[in-house]
Amino acid sequence: MSSRFLFFLGINSSFRGFPVELNSGICFYKAIRFAFNESEHHGVVMMNVVELEGISKTFPGGVQANKKITLDIREGEVHGLLGENGAGKTTLMNLLYGLLSQDEGTIKIRGEEVNLKSPEDSIKRGVGMVHQHYKLIAPLTVTENVLLGLELPSKRMDRGTASSLILSSLLVLFVLWRILPFFDFLYILLAYCAFLVLLILVIPRYKGLGPRFSGALDKLGPVGRLLRSLGTALRGYRSIGFEDAAKRISEIAEENGLDIDPYAKVQDISVGIQQRVEIIKALYREAEILILDEPTSVLTPQEVDELFVTLEKFKETGKTIILITHKLREPMILCDRISVLRDGELVGTVNKEDTSREELAQMMAIIRRIHAELGLAIFLIEHRMKFVMELCEIIQTLVFGEVIAEGTPEEIQNNPEVIDAYLGKEDVT
């Protein structure tokens, strides 16, 4: 049953088994899903939150980092972007985050084609990025770093502008009151007040809906822009102080299992805690799509395990995570789907359940590339037979420190001593 049909069903009749108070909530949920063009299949909502189509990027000097890449990211999934250094992973995500502009291709966020001129454009659409090299100022506190860049003079509305906009809207309502019949005006006034309450109080407090709701307003044209401006104006009267921000940071940290002191200076905390600050910066800005660039490269094993737990919590809350990595272990533990890049091109996208480390290594072609381009002899120590057979030219098999066989993959595979060593000798008694 389509989202469109369910939406109108909720408007015109009650949902069997649900009280009237809950029906309105279900209808609103269906209306939101309808607005964002989600599809429902056997009870599972599937939606591409990011669509990259034919993306190409060439840097000065002729270095082509991305070559006609087409990739989709599904809502609520952990998507691995795997490839060796220089494969074009970070460049592709810098395009999505607005740090760079593509030479060719289109970027869509929740079905809307966007022209991202800066990270601010991406942040408005719910995209956050934690870079491999953190963008923190050491002498400042955690809270100061999180707030840095949020209150730009060009974007901040002063009290005078807010008052003018509010008075203008009240004047419009007054004119409507004078020219419209009473009941028509009453309906407009009630709808106007209800929408403002929803815009100012309800939507910002509902996790994950802010950027989507902003996108829906943008689609309404001038009316949507007016409502957005009114919301900004009314919220301009509420100033958020340093203590309020620190409290909110503590709440975000607690909700996501990120142990952090909002008053600590960045120069006094570990690298692992600094990464948490970067994550909180994105969450504070209501990021629903979180890009992590090589997040484990500077972490201790314990910090890596803690990060994995945090990412699992993000997944449970419905956030979409894009994990950039060159390591095989991480995507096989965390990701739902994995896309492999090589030399700026997309090799393919696979489901985690349908692949293995060996297959991913082959897609990356790291070992063969080193051998072919550098002409180096590679000595590979490995116990997995399939992996060795597919990569190596000459194989030595050891048992308890003794070489029992040496030869080509075919010779080793058919060697009786190797078979006995792996499978055990047949019991003839």
pLDDT tens-digit readout, 379-421 = 777 666 666 776 677 888 888 888 888 888 878 888 888 888 8
Spatial contact of 146 and 91, defined as CB atoms under 8 Å apart: no
Domain count, the chain: 4
Please indicate, yes or no, whether residues 173 and 229 belong to a single structural domain of this protein: yes
Residue 300: CB partners within 8 Å, gap ≥ 6? 272
Q: What backbone phi and psi angles, to 5 degrees, belong to 258? A: -110, 100
Q: Does residue 111 carry a pLDDT above 70? A: yes
Residue 315's pLDDT is 86
Residue 237's pLDDT is 43
CA 79 to chain centre: 8
Residue 398's pLDDT is 86
Distance CA 252, CA 259 (A): 10
Distance CA 19, CA 104 (A): 52
Residue 168's pLDDT is 67
Q: Does residue 234 carry a pLDDT above 70? A: no
- Domain limit, last residue, from 183, 210, 235: 235
Please indicate, yes or no, whether residues 146 and 251 belong to a single structural domain of this protein: yes
Q: Does residue 233 carry a pLDDT above 80? A: no
Average pLDDT over residues 46-73: 92
Q: Which position has the higher pLDDT, 22 or 131?
A: 131
DSSP assignment of 167-205, as one string? HHHHHHHHHHHHHS-HHHHHHHHHHHHHHHHIIIIIGGG
Strand order through the sheet with 345-351: 127-130, 289-293, 320-325, 78-82, 337-342, 345-351
* Mean of all residue pLDDT scores within the chain: 75
156 CB burial (10 A radius; 0-12, 13-18, 19+): exposed
Q: Does residue 4 carry a pLDDT above 60? A: no
Most confident of 32-36, 147-151, 218-222: 147-151
Please indicate, yes or no, whether residues 249 and 329 belong to a single structural domain of this protein: yes
Residue 348: CB partners within 8 Å, gap ≥ 6? 339, 340, 363
Please indicate, yes or no, whether residues 179 and 291 belong to a single structural domain of this protein: no
Residue 157's pLDDT is 46
Distance CA 383, CA 257 (A): 37
Residue 6: which pLDDT band, with cuts at 50, 70 and 90?
very low
Q: Does residue 183 carry a pLDDT above 80? A: no
- Domain limit, last residue, from 358, 388, 410: 358
Distance CA 69, CA 104 (A): 10
Spatial contact of 290 and 282, defined as CB atoms under 8 Å apart: yes
Average pLDDT over residues 170-179: 71
Please indicate, yes or no, whether residues 138 and 258 belong to a single structural domain of this protein: yes
- Domain limit, last residue, from 189, 213, 235: 235
Does a structural domain hold residue 228?
Answer: yes
Please indicate, yes or no, whether residues 200 and 343 belong to a single structural domain of this protein: no
DSSP state of 398: E
Of 11-20, 270-279, 395-404, 406-415, the poorest mean pLDDT is in: 11-20
Q: Does residue 364 carry a pLDDT above 60? A: yes
Average pLDDT over residues 5-25: 32
Q: Give the rounded percent of residues in the chain with a pLDDT score beyond 70.
A: 66
Residue 193: which pLDDT band, with cuts at 50, 70 and 90?
confident
Average pLDDT over residues 275-287: 92
Does a structural domain hold residue 348?
Answer: yes
Does a structural domain hold residue 261?
Answer: yes
Q: Give the rounded percent of residues in the chain with a pLDDT score beyond 90.
A: 32
Residue 88's pLDDT is 92
**Packed helices 222-235 and 159-179: angle between N→C axes, nearest 10 degrees:** 130
Does a structural domain hold residue 33?
Answer: yes
Please indicate, yes or no, whether residues 140 and 163 belong to a single structural domain of this protein: no
- Conformation bin of residue 39: beta by default, left when phi > 0, alpha when psi is -120 to 50: beta
Residue 259's pLDDT is 87
Please indicate, yes or no, whether residues 254 and 131 belong to a single structural domain of this protein: yes
Residue 368's pLDDT is 61
Q: Does residue 320 carry a pLDDT above 70? A: yes
Please indicate, yes or no, whether residues 139 and 260 belong to a single structural domain of this protein: yes
The reported pTM is 0.61
Residue 410's pLDDT is 79
Q: Which position has the higher pLDDT, 52 or 356?
A: 52
Does a structural domain hold residue 71?
Answer: yes
- Conformation bin of residue 261: beta by default, left when phi > 0, alpha when psi is -120 to 50: beta
Most confident of 73-87, 191-205, 408-422: 73-87
Q: What is the separation, in whole angstroms, between the first and last Cα of the chain?
A: 64
Q: CATH number of the domain that 143 lies in?
A: 3.40.50.300
Residue 354: which pLDDT band, with cuts at 50, 70 and 90?
confident
Of 41-55, 96-110, 270-284, 371-385, the poorest mean pLDDT is in: 371-385
Spatial contact of 161 and 233, defined as CB atoms under 8 Å apart: yes
Does a structural domain hold residue 368?
Answer: no
Domain of residue 11 covers 3-45
Does a structural domain hold residue 374?
Answer: no
Residue 127's pLDDT is 95
Distance CA 120, CA 118 (A): 5
Q: How many CB atoms lie within 10 A of CB 123?
A: 20
Residue 291: which pLDDT band, with cuts at 50, 70 and 90?
very high
Does a structural domain hold residue 260?
Answer: yes
Q: Which position has the higher pLDDT, 205 or 326?
A: 326
Residue 352: CB partners within 8 Å, gap ≥ 6? 331, 332, 335, 336, 337, 338
Please indicate, yes or no, whether residues 207 and 315 belong to a single structural domain of this protein: no
Q: Does residue 285 carry a pLDDT above 60? A: yes
**3-state SS, residue 291:** strand
Distance CA 129, CA 253 (A): 17
Residue 244's pLDDT is 84
Please indicate, yes or no, whether residues 134 and 177 belong to a single structural domain of this protein: no
Distance CA 390, CA 363 (A): 12
Locate all alpha helices (DSSP H) within 237-355, ordered by sequence: 242-255, 271-284, 301-316, 329-334
Please indicate, yes or no, whether residues 129 and 218 belong to a single structural domain of this protein: no
